[in-house]
Amino acid sequence: MKIYLNGKLIPEREAKISVFDHGLLYGDGVFEGIRSYNGRVFELDTHIDRLYDSAKAIALEIPMTRAGMKSAVIRTCAANKTTDGYIRLVVTRGVGTLGLNPYLCKKPQIIIIAADIQLYPKKLYDEGLKIVTVGTIRNLSEALNPRIKSLNYLNNILAKIEAINSGCMEAVMLNSQGAVAEATGDNIFIVRGNSVVTPPVNEGILEGITRNTVMTLAKEFGLDVSETRLSRYDLYTADEVFLTGTAAEVIGVVNIDRRQIGDGTPGAITRKLMKRYRQHASSTGSPIQ
């Protein structure tokens, strides 16, 4: 595997950063997870725009144009023959001191990894996920806004630990007001009748690119799509629940906190959106040359 590191493609074993990089020391940096399908990188421009927005929010100046970053992603995919896979794009603050001062870090590091990922086994797409609500609340927007896709994922990791310790692969995270925010790595939706509902971004969620794509596809099906505050009651009594994310795509949830959702299988609308999303993602995107 070849890793893109600061303008060069180098063998995996030679891809190294300093122990004084603030991305390592403090989680100071931003990233994007991106998918490629059929030789095309899906929603590449949108992912790069979000990367630069996240960087701007933490006062991190990326030393590359957006066009240059797009070219670097495609170049890395081509070098690794990653026609169907997962791309991790990382920008760290760079090498600094043991102190917090980010302005002592003079040169941000740009890292691109193009590989494979399988977040959930196929069986769970067919049968659905069982998830649990956890006690770890989502970061407050006033503290670390979840719309910033930063390298500091400890909030999500703590929630993931709770889920795994409860025998589940994923968790529902609430915000400080007790409203539903999102899962540890995915956005959450409910279906009630002809309505598809997801929490708005001001409830403390990452504005997922897959989330937004699925909302568009649902509208094309004639479904009533809205962003509304949700409680656990809304999850428990929904006809269907599903998660969306770059790695997860669309996956149904059939049990939350030991309460069966619907008939206990991924619902018809979930399955319809799952199929349509894969068709859409496989037929659009930036060509890998």
Domain 122-283 is found in CATH 2.40.128.20? no
Residue range(s) in the chain whose domain bears CATH number 3.20.10.10: 122-283
Whole-number pLDDT of residue 117: 78
Q: Which residues of 260-271 are buried (b: 16+ CB within 10 A; e: fewer)?
A: ebbeebbbebbb
Rounded distance between C-alpha atoms, residue 226 and residue 47, angstroms = 23
Domain 2-115 is found in CATH 3.30.470.10? yes
Q: Is 177 exposed, middle or buried (0-12, 13-18, 19+ CB in 10 A)?
A: exposed
CB 29 within 8 A of CB 91: yes
Dihedral sign computed on CA atoms, order 209, 211, 212, 213: positive
The two structure tokens encoding residue 56:
């701007």
Whole-number pLDDT of residue 116: 84
Per-residue pLDDT reduced to its tens digit, 19-62: 999 999 999 999 999 999 999 999 999 999 999 999 999 999 99
Residue range(s) in the chain whose domain bears CATH number 3.30.470.10: 2-115
Whole-number pLDDT of residue 289: 76
Catalytic residue, chosen from 149, 160, 219, 272, is: 149
DSSP conformation letters of 40-56: EETTHHHHHHHHHHHHH
- Residue ranges in the chain modelled with pLDDT below 70: none
Short-list 264, 237, 241, CA closest to 252:
241
Annotation marks residue 149 as catalytic: yes
CA 144 to chain centre: 16
